[in-house]
Every structure is written in structure tokens, then in C-alpha cells.
A and B are shown apart, each in its own frame.
Chain A
Amino acid sequence: MNEMNALLNLLENDARLTPEQIAIMLDKEVGDIKKLIYEYEKDGVILGYKAMIDWDKIEREYVSAMIELKVTPQRDKGFGSIAEKITRYPEVQSVYLMSGSFDILVLIEGRTMKEVAFFVAEKLSPMDSITSTSTHFVLRKYKDRGVVYGVPEVDIRGSLV
């Protein structure tokens, strides 16, 4: 495997690995790993380090929804400017330009369904170029970004030898 990909794959799986640990695992110098990480951060290849949290497991009001938007592209700017506008809202988690029967997919998080519904009605729908919205609430997460949600797996491997 390509060395740089190896570093990124390791961090993608576990962002808490230290440069020292990574250096040992990949048989490289710590200094080189630190430099690489720094460069990835600088170039925006690595954009952040976040924990995967199952909010359903703790007492907190939480809903998430996916909103499909149909959008009239703007002259010269296409979908870019509307997408960029949507990203500015802090409740918006993701914004994707999509192929298929709608144009933009927005992932949004809020405390209650009402809050999300109001956001759509008050913030998204009024935007000039958005011609229609369709909101789908997430009822349950089974897997997100490669991580399976639910009960942590128990090691049932039997053999000792």
C-alpha cells in the first residue's frame, strides 16, 4: 500500500493515534510522520479529528434528518453559492451535491423534530433558488462512517492456543 495512504488510513480509523505510535507501526521516523501530518493539515487533506458518539446512549434530546433539495442552479455559479450558503448554518452537518432526482442533500442535527422542521421552513425553503424540499428524519443509526452503532461487540473468540 502507498505509504501516505497508510498514514491516512490509520488516522481515519483511529484519530487518537499519536505520531509516535504511527511511526512505530509504519516503521518510519517520528519526525517524518509529524511533518507529514502537519502538511496534510495545512493542505486541508486532514480536516479534523472527531469522536464517533452514539447520542442515543445518553440523556440528550437529539434528532437528525436528511433533507433533499431541488435547486435552480444560478447563472455562472451553478450550485456552488447556494451550497456554500447552507454550510454556514451550524446545525447543518453535511452538504452534498447529488446526482439523481434531487440536487443537494443536507444532513442536519437538532434537538427536536420541531426544531429541524422549523429550520427547513424558515431557513432553507425561503432561499430563492430552492424549488422544493423533502425532509427525512433518521429513526435509528445502524452504522455511520464505518462504525457500527449499538452494543459494543464482545470478544467471543474461543481458542486459546
Chain B
Amino acid sequence: MDYSKILSKTASEIKPSGIRKFFDLLSAGDMSDVVALTVGQPDFVTPWHIREAGIESLEEGKTYYTSNAGLTELRNEISLYLNRRFNLSYNPGNEIIVTVGGSEAIDLAVRAIVNPGDEVIIAMPAFVCYPPIVSLAGGIPVLIPTKEENEFKLTPEELKSAITPKTKLLILPYPNNPTGAIMDYEDLSKIADILRDTDIMVLSDEIYAELTFGQKHVSIASLPGMRERTIIASGFSKAYAMTGWRLGYVVAPEQVTSVIYKIHQFAIMCAPTTSQFAAIQALKKGDDDIEYMAEEYNRRRRYIVAGLRSIGFPCFEPKGAFYVWPNISGFGLSSDEFCEKLMYEGRVAIVPGTAFGDCGEGYARLSYAYSVEHITKALDGIENFVKKIR
């Protein structure tokens, strides 16, 4: 059979993730001694009391589907949580839908908004899923490379120059994976000023909202006039170390969630029930866990930034998430070359910046979701390698 004639053209044309390509190298050959700073998820285990709530729900036989939007109690808790921590106000009855991770939330939001041919502006570098998801919905990704001199924030000028009559949606991924950039109230105000006069919606990916350092996360939805044009995608993966539970949520004005709801209902039915019970516990009793883990990340953040700078890398100071994004362009090597060489010769694995978009050239992403001991080992390896190639 000629599958090329059978398979969906749009789906087949999706480019494989750049990270994948790089990591096929890592799994080939003997790489067991390579120290990796590559993983994009917490090294903490989900706090025990949260796991226990999941286990108890199983013991009690709660193994059924929940309502499509998710357990009422969970939506109530999400509503309280968003209000408590980010001063947001959403009706749990019709403005909150529990999803399979922030990932599904992003997919739903894009599919609910985008018509074929619509343009979707994405601030880059960014998490790898946005452009393919936009393409699958028939949209056209319009990528704005953010700049180090602007602290990798999206500037109003950049946004303005990317807007066309076809622009439908802006994807705003802050706190940012991979740069660690955040946007504060003032930064967001300038973006909001532009959007308020338009019909452009914002998809704000706030999955790292609990991991900001030195200042609290501000949601663009909390700015005057922005709630009605914002969809927030978030979830439990990063804040509560719950990646494997696959649980997130999407919140938006009712007119939007009612459409999102239909897609979710038919494509997914409902998010995993066990995870939903665990998440109720997380929201009710997990604020201290968030704080504890965030403080731990903050220490490692300072440590790895200081380490990279002392090796000699110019290194933007990340203010959120758990990644650093040093400039590695000073060696006459492309990002891919640098990272490949570092892996083979220095036995340390980091992700080339280009995995997060072309504008990641010259950079690399290092995750600090690792123990200090492990980070130290990796930094030593990088330092030795750099000494050799300098």
C-alpha cells in the first residue's frame, strides 16, 4: 500500500520534534555515562498526600468517567485556587474544563478558535507543541523571535508588526520554556493595550505560573479588559510535580468554553478520574508543597546560573520555570554542533536551542530539575569540555 496517499497530508507534513532527533543520538550507542540536563519535568515525586488521595479513590472504587468538564468539586477548587493565587475569577459551572494535561488545554483552545487560513502569532522560542497544533487546526503559525536584549519578552512593537487582518490568536507562553523569561504586569499592559482594540484572542500558557522567582506570576487575564479575550491553559504537572497524572485545565469566558467543551467531550470524554481526585487534594492542601518545591528550584537556579557564568557563558537570568538558556555561540559552532560535541566528548547532554525554534540558534536549554549534586557533575563536565575546545 502506498501510505503516502492514505495518510492525512497535514498530519504527515508535521516536522518531527527537533529534540527527538537529538535524542535519538542519545539513545544510540553507549550513553549511560552521559550526565543529562535535558528533562522538562520535575525531579520531585508527587507529594505523598496527593498520591494517597488518588490511591484512596481507587480503593473506594471510583473508577468511572466523571462528567465531561471534570468533577464539580475539582472545578470549584480550581476556581478558588485561581482566585487565591492569581486574583482571577472564573465560574466553575461553565468557564473551567478539566483536561488531559496543559497539552490538551492548548490543543482545545487552538481548535476552538482557529479557522483554516487564520494566523496565529507565537512568541518564540517556545515549547515545541504550538506550531504543529496550529498547523493541524489549519492555521498558519506566525513566529516572533523574542530577543535577549528584551529579556526574551514579547515587545509591543514586535507584536504590532506581526498583526495582519488574518491574525486570530496570540500564543503567549510565559513563564517561558525554554528561556525562563517572564512578563510582569507592565510588560503585559503594553501587550494588552494593543489587543484591546482588536478581535485577537490570547492563549496564555501558564503551566509554569507557580515557578517564578522574586516576583509573583501575573496572568494577562487579570488586566483590565483582557479577561474576555483570554484563554488560560494550565495544569498540575509542574506546580505539583504531577506530570504522569496527565491533568490540566482550560479556563475562558463561557462563550469560548462552550465550544471547547464540545471538542473535549467528543475527543476525550473526560480527564483521568484518579488524577482528578488527587488534584482536589493538591488544590486543597498543596500550597505548601508548591512553595517548598519553588524554593528548591530557586536555589538550583542561582547555582546553575552562577556556575555557567563562571565557566564563561553569557547567561540570561531566568525568572521562571526550571530552565536556563545560556548563550553558547562563542565557540564557532552551531547550537546543534556544540551540543552534539558536548555529548560525545564532554559526556553531558543539553538541548540545542534550535529545538525550540530557529531563533534558538546560539543558545541551549539546560534543565535544573535535578539535584544539586547532579548539576555540579554536569557543570564540571561542561567546564572541562569548554576548556578543551576554547
Contact = CB atoms under 8 A, between A and B. Distances in A.
Interface of A: 1, 6, 10, 14, 17, 21, 24-27, 155, 157, 159-161
Given A24-B306, A160-B40, A161-B129, 20 more contacts: A1-B295, A6-B295, A10-B299, A14-B372, A14-B373, A17-B372, A21-B303, A21-B376, A25-B372, A26-B299, A27-B302, A159-B41, A159-B243, A160-B23, A160-B38, A161-B17, A161-B19, A161-B127, A161-B177, A161-B355
A25 B43 contact: no
Contacts of A24: 302-303, 306
A61 B289 CA distance: 42
A64 B43 CA distance: 33
A24 B304 CA distance: 9
A159 B177 CA distance: 13
B55 interface: no
B366 to A, nearest CB: 13
A49 to B, nearest CB: 15
Interface string B305-316: 010000000000
Q: Is the interface of A mostly helix, strand, loop or mixed?
A: loop
Contacts of B299: 10, 25-26
Given A14-B372, A14-B373, A160 B19 contact: yes
A24 B372 CA distance: 12
Contacts, number: 44
B118 to A, nearest CB: 25
Interface string B9-23: 000000001011001
A25 B303 contact: yes
B306 to A, nearest CB: 5
A31 B23 CA distance: 43
Contacts of B243: 159
B259 to A, nearest CB: 27
Contacts of B373: 14
6 contacts: A10-B299, A25-B302, A25-B372, A157-B39, A159-B39, A161-B128
A24 B317 CA distance: 14
B328 interface: no
B324 interface: no
Interface string B26-39: 00000000001011
Question: Closest 6 CB pairs between A and B?
Answer: A25-B299, A24-B306, A160-B19, A157-B39, A161-B40, A161-B128
Nearest to B351: A160
Nearest to B355: A161
A161 B322 CA distance: 12
Contacts of A161: 17, 19, 40, 127-129, 177, 355
A1 B288 CA distance: 11
A27 to B, nearest CB: 6
Contacts of A26: 299
Contacts of A6: 295
